Amino acid sequence: MLRPDPAPLPPRRLADDELAKLRGFYEELIGFVPPRIVARSELGARLDPELLRLQEEVRRRAMYPACFDVKTSQLMLFGILLALMSDAARLHAIAARRAGASWEELHAVVGLAYLFRGCRPPTWAPRSC
């Protein structure tokens, strides 16, 4: 059994307002900051703020390519993550809905993931979004 590390984390090396700005991307996209992102950004703000800044810049750039609107990007990410059976698919379904995707579009993406990956369709349902 793992025991908790008694050593405290080092102090933050990133200002609160900058950390809030980095997390704001998720607030805007999903409506909240997922716990994993809170944990990752908190640790990054303490151990390697520059890497955290770079990671978040890459995420923003990759998620918002000039050739796709936000809805299309989020629908694609939802399908990719659903095919990989990642629990993060739910977050991108939420983001797609916030960006204007219909339930019909989400369901169509589920069908594509099922067809090409063999995912069980019940792994995603509107109630979970």
Q: What is the pLDDT of residues 39-88, one digit of tens each?
A: 999 999 999 999 999 999 999 999 999 999 999 999 999 999 999 989 99
| Residue that the structure tokens 């916030």 belong to | 98
Contacts 24+ apart (CB under 8 A), 110-113: 110/82, 112/79, 113/79, 113/82, 113/83
CA distance 74 to 93: 7
Query: What does pTM read for this prediction?
Result: 0.83
pLDDT(101) > 60: yes
Residue scoring higher pLDDT (127 or 77) = 77
